[in-house]
Structure 1
Amino acid sequence: MDDDRVWSFEKSLWLGDAENYRKLIDEECLMVLPQPPFVLSGKQAIEAVANTPRWIDVELSNRQVARPEEGLIVIAYHARASREDETYEAHCTSTLRRLSHEEWRVVQHQQTTPVAIPGTSEG
């Protein structure tokens, strides 16, 4: 999968519906999110998304792609998402595994919200 497709795939997970999530998240996926219960399996994450309002827009910046071996893609980025009167920011990673030609699933995802570092203006 080329880089443009990788980022389109990831963006679709932020903006797509629960059916898209079911299609692209592996049932054995592990996720770490910055709110309880913090650690989720793929099935738990899929169900959580089904009950959450979808994001209207997302910007993925500071994007990095690594391909440690054939059929495995690891990405890292900063996300800024919005819906109605809510915005959300997180530093994220995802790991994608190829199941067959042109068929990929997310097997790992994490989101870390920005933390205030003493002596800086970032938070």
Structure 2
Amino acid sequence: MDDDRVWSFEKSLWTGDADHYRQLVDDECLTVLPQPPFVMSGKQAIEAVAHTPRWSEIEISQEQISRPQEGLIVIAYQATASRGEQAYEAHCTSTYRRLEHDKWRVVQHQQTPPIVSRPAVEAVE
């Protein structure tokens, strides 16, 4: 899968409906999200997407792609998504596994919202 197709594939997971998500996410996928239940199987993530409004817009930046072996693609990026007035930002990773020629499934996905730096606590004397 070439780079443009990788990013198109990933964006479609943010905006596509539950049936689309079900077609692209493996039942054995492991997902980590910044909200309960935090760690999910592919089946749990697919079910959650069926009951969650999809994002209408997604912008991806800081794109990184690795192909550590034939049939395996690992990506990392920053996502900025929106639906109506709601906005969301996260640093993400996904791993794709090729099942057969031109047929790929997500087997791992993770989202980490930006970490807000806290001012250093001064020692009280």
Q: Does 1:65 align with 2:65?
A: yes
Determine the structure 2 residue equivalent to 1:6: 6
Deviation digits for residues 23-65 of structure 1, max 9, x if unmatched? 0000000000000000000000000000000100000000000
TM-score normalized by the length of structure 2 = 0.94
Determine the structure 1 residue equivalent to 2:33: 33
TM-score normalized by the length of structure 1 = 0.95
SS at match of 2:5: helix
Determine the structure 2 residue equivalent to 1:95: 95
Determine the structure 1 residue equivalent to 2:86: 86
Distance 2:45 2:52 in 1: 11
Q: Percent identity, please.
A: 71
Q: Which runs of 5+ in 2 are unaligned?
A: 120-125
How far 1:14 sits from its partner (Å)? 0.3
How far 1:116 sits from its partner (Å)? 1.2
How far 1:117 sits from its partner (Å)? 2.3
Deviating 4+ runs (over 3 angstroms)? none
**Paired letter, 1:68:** P
Distance 2:118 2:70 in 1: 41
Distance 1:118 1:31 in 2: 28
Q: Highest CA radius of gyration, 1 or 2? A: 2
Determine the structure 1 residue equivalent to 2:50: 50
Distance 1:64 1:85 in 2: 29
